Structure 1
Amino acid sequence: MKKVLFVINTMGYGGAEKALIELLKKLDPDQYEISLYVLLSQGELLSQIPSYVKLMNTNYSDASVLSDAGKQILKKNVIRQLFSNGAVFKNIPYLIRNLCSMAGRKKIQLDKLLWKVMADGAERFEETYDVAVAYLEGGSTYYVKKYVKAKQKAAFLHVDYAQAGYNRKLDEDCYLAFDRIFTVSEEVQKSFLCQYPECRNHTFIFHNIIDPDEIRRKAELDGGFEDSFDGYQILTVGRLTMQKAYEVAISAMEQIKKSGIPVRWYVLGEGELRKKLQAQIDAAGLTDDFRLLGVTENPYPFYRQCDLYVHATRFEGKSIAVQEAQILGCAILVSDTSGNREQLKNGVDGEMCSLDAGSIADAVIALLKDDKKRKRYGAAAAKRSLSENEKTFHNIQKLMGNE
């Protein structure tokens, strides 16, 4: 029986975390002894991992990393790890060097800067594994590279490497230590290999694993929109972060409202930009029209009930939210950006537009006025989703070093 360790940064409500849960469900406990280590020891999705997965964390909080209470717990975890194992002191030269580099590019990303410190301050284990898997960029990758003893090591990338703010100097060439590297889409692979061309022969595409039948089942349960609005309902699902470009969507909604179409835009997600985005919404007079609903345990009734799903983001790896919308037959509009391009064919199973308020507004208005087109896109999207998981078995065998 192979001993396998998965490492991820948190187990909060996010696409990569949900994909990891589905991957763990596919692993046979008679073949693999599976362990999981969560770098920041927090996240509400831990309760969804299979019972045969062993959690390695000494202390763990199931508080959401996005709730106010959860953020306080997360801050305490971060401060503790800054000083554990002398992590912050060991990394002073690294922090200064990369902070200066970020400042020179006028793009300081503290989370990217601190992941190495978090890895150095994390728990250590003496056990040797047959396979160790870093399931996310940043901290988990640094940790597996430096502190996990394993016969073989694998890493996953879920976002466009360069667009997300990573580079070889920041991660100190850590991917050279991995036997196999998996990207969730072709565009993520291309971006990564532009930075690490020497990894070309052992970098593979491993699409996110999702459970279409379970998604369809949950979509039929109670839930969804509760405000009795009888106009058009637009849905977006994703964390309230810079990557998702919600400030552009809010500006687009201002223009959409001027068209006179009865419409509301709903967002399922939480994040550090909530207060800033809500202030923009209120200032624009859209308090009733652009609604931040937070996180819900079952988002799928919203997908089933909405008239249009919009995913206008700055970049993606491969969005699970878009995949879920396809499974449930939504008409979909995405921005023409990295990651999104790979997920639908413009004019066939959805539409693309530029990431600016005017283009988004024009596309939304045109789609809301064309019921037949939306139905056609939804039917094509549902058909496309049927072939998404065909390579799962071979990908798992490759991940585990069985082929």
Structure 2
Amino acid sequence: MKTNLLFIMPNLTSGGGEKSLVTLLSKIDLNLYNVDLFLLNHSGLFMDFIPKGVHLLPIAETHHLFTLPLFQSLKKLLLKGNGLLAYNRIMFSLRNRNVSNTSKREQYSWKYIAKSLEKIQKKYDVAIGFLEKTSTYFCIDKVDAAKKIGWVHIDYDQLGMDSQFDQVYFQKLDHIVTVSEECANILENRFPDQKNKVEVIYNIVSPSMINEMANQDNLNVYDKKDNEIIILSIGRLHYQKGFEMAVESCKKLIDRGYKIKWNIIGDGEERGKLMELIEEYHLHNHFKLLGLKSNPYPYIKQADIYAQTSKFEGKSIAIDEAKILNKPILVTNFSTAKDQINDGTDGLIIDMNADAIAVGIEKLINDTNLRKKLTLNLACLKKGTEEEIDKFYGLLNR
């Protein structure tokens, strides 16, 4: 008899966690497992990547009404006679206004959002909250399962969350999975009484798939000119990714006479802020926000340098993908950087400021021998992690 699995995720918009989920789903043997997926929002870049055979569960109408703009939500809820949920919608808005930290806001508003969500009636063998916060809370509060797993994709200490809030939920999990050894150390230090539950399963990346997709588009995706250096970064336009430092670094390099084009694949709440900075520094021809790309791999392949300017990460899938395509890589020295890059061997780790980023890029531009060395070393590495599916199976059956 097949094992019944449920995965829970807020949505499938762009992001490392979302990409990690659809890749994992594509590797699960559907001859052995029945797989259901619950999303709080049926939208996002990766919706089309949900494998056939994975059953997408419906969302309660009450949740759809709850997530409408405030006055529209209240009107529709009251017309349906749901005064209690309308009250919770008001409290949700008030709570969000009074909490500045976005992670704590998500934590504290869960009790209001939860009122709009029905408990899932089917009983599962294993339920997996595949992202920190809401996915885990839903897994605990709204699902009946013999085993429950929570997934943390980030350096927990950098989110500024209320650990006491999560402690209540972590106590009810059977396993807490994270994506790197450093992330595991951070969780074990923050939640010492949950230490025995922490497991490391790396994000699954497939070199054969990535190389195939990188060659799908033979066009010059950048319209590259002679002697131009193309730099690429990938990530949500969010404070975490430090893209304001990338813009400032680009300005410094242009002022020093370098012919560069810096491109970012991604979207998010900081687009307006970054556009203003690009305008201020007159970088319209040198710094491009490309938006979301369902296939970013031709862009990685055709770039000269991949740069990750993050302030914190769990384990960056984009870095792993750049490694698979043998790109010279520069990363800022966030807490988990050394989990992915050996400084001077397969990339450069530099200080987390615009000056250091500019100096690092300058070094990669001028030192062609260094770039060749990094590329050759990357070509010799074993970079696929498909075998991580076996760790996942082991966790399910333990």
Tell me the TM-score normalised to structure 2 length: 0.89
Contact between 2:96 and 2:105, CA under 8 Å: does it hold in 1? no
Q: Aligned ranges for residues 75-224 of structure 1 at < 5 Å? A: 76=68, 86=84, 89=87, 110-171=105-166, 173-222=168-217, 223=219
User: Which amino acid in structure 2 is aligned with residue 263 of structure 1?
Assistant: I
1:115 Cα deviation after fit: 4.4
- 1:389 and 2:393 matched: no
CA distance in 1, matches of 2:349, 2:268: 25
Aligned equivalent of 1:264: 261
Contact between 2:230 and 2:262, CA under 8 Å: does it hold in 1? yes
Tell me the SS of whatever aligns to 1:352: strand
CA distance in 1, matches of 2:247, 2:316: 21
Aligned equivalent of 1:44: 45
CA distance in 2, matches of 1:379, 1:311: 20
CA distance in 1, matches of 2:104, 2:327: 34
Contact between 1:153 and 1:179, CA under 8 Å: does it hold in 2? yes
Tell me the SS of whatever aligns to 2:156: coil
Aligned equivalent of 1:399: 395
1:208 Cα deviation after fit: 0.3
CA distance in 2, matches of 1:310, 1:245: 11
Question: Compared with structure 1, are the counterparts of its residues 242 and 374 closer, same or farther at alpha carbon in structure 2 (3 Å cutoff)?
Answer: same
Q: Which of these residues, 307, 311, 314, is aligned with residue 310 of structure 1?
A: 307
Question: Compared with structure 1, are the counterparts of its residues 224 and 342 closer, same or farther at alpha carbon in structure 2 (3 Å cutoff)?
Answer: farther
1:44 Cα deviation after fit: 3.3
- 1:273 and 2:308 matched: no
User: Which amino acid in structure 1 is aligned with residue 186 of structure 2?
Assistant: S
CA distance in 2, matches of 1:244, 1:85: 41
In structure 2, runs of 5+ residues without a counterpart are: none
CA distance in 1, matches of 2:119, 2:386: 37
CA distance in 1, matches of 2:5, 2:105: 31
Q: Please list the CA deviations of residues 111-166 of structure 1 after superposition, one character each: whole Å capped at 9, or x if unmatched.
A: 45434533442232211100000000111110001110000001110011120222
User: Which amino acid in structure 2 is aligned with residue 48 of structure 1?
Assistant: F
Identity %: 31
Question: Compared with structure 1, are the counterparts of its residues 108 and 226 closer, same or farther at alpha carbon in structure 2 (3 Å cutoff)?
Answer: closer
Contact between 1:85 and 1:121, CA under 8 Å: does it hold in 2? no
Question: Compared with structure 1, are the counterparts of its residues 13 and 176 closer, same or farther at alpha carbon in structure 2 (3 Å cutoff)?
Answer: same
Contact between 1:161 and 1:167, CA under 8 Å: does it hold in 2? no
Stretches of 4+ aligned residues off by more than 4 angstroms: 72-75, 77-100, 106-109
Q: Please list the CA deviations of residues 33-64 of structure 1 after superposition, one character each: whole Å capped at 9, or x if unmatched.
A: 1100002333231221111100102479xxxx
User: Which amino acid in structure 1 is aligned with residue 6 of structure 2?
Assistant: L
CA distance in 1, matches of 2:201, 2:338: 17
- 1:17 and 2:27 matched: no
1:379 Cα deviation after fit: 2.5
CA distance in 2, matches of 1:165, 1:331: 32
CA distance in 2, matches of 1:367, 1:157: 33
Q: Aligned ranges for residues 307-386 of structure 1 at < 5 Å? A: 307-384=304-381, 386=382
CA distance in 1, matches of 2:67, 2:268: 15
Contact between 2:311 and 2:334, CA under 8 Å: does it hold in 1? yes
Contact between 1:224 and 1:300, CA under 8 Å: does it hold in 2? no
Tell me the SS of whatever aligns to 2:373: helix
Contact between 2:24 and 2:389, CA under 8 Å: does it hold in 1? no
User: Which amino acid in structure 2 is aligned with residue 361 of structure 1?
Assistant: A
Question: Compared with structure 1, are the counterparts of its residues 329 and 339 closer, same or farther at alpha carbon in structure 2 (3 Å cutoff)?
Answer: same
CA distance in 2, matches of 1:90, 1:172: 24
1:2 Cα deviation after fit: 0.7
Contact between 1:224 and 1:299, CA under 8 Å: does it hold in 2? no
Question: Compared with structure 1, are the counterparts of its residues 55 and 132 closer, same or farther at alpha carbon in structure 2 (3 Å cutoff)?
Answer: same
Across the two proteins, how many residue pairs are aligned to each other? 387
Q: CA RMSD in A?
A: 2.9
In structure 1, runs of 5+ residues without a counterpart are: 61-71
Aligned equivalent of 1:233: 230
1:98 Cα deviation after fit: 9.4
Question: Compared with structure 1, are the counterparts of its residues 284 and 177 closer, same or farther at alpha carbon in structure 2 (3 Å cutoff)?
Answer: same
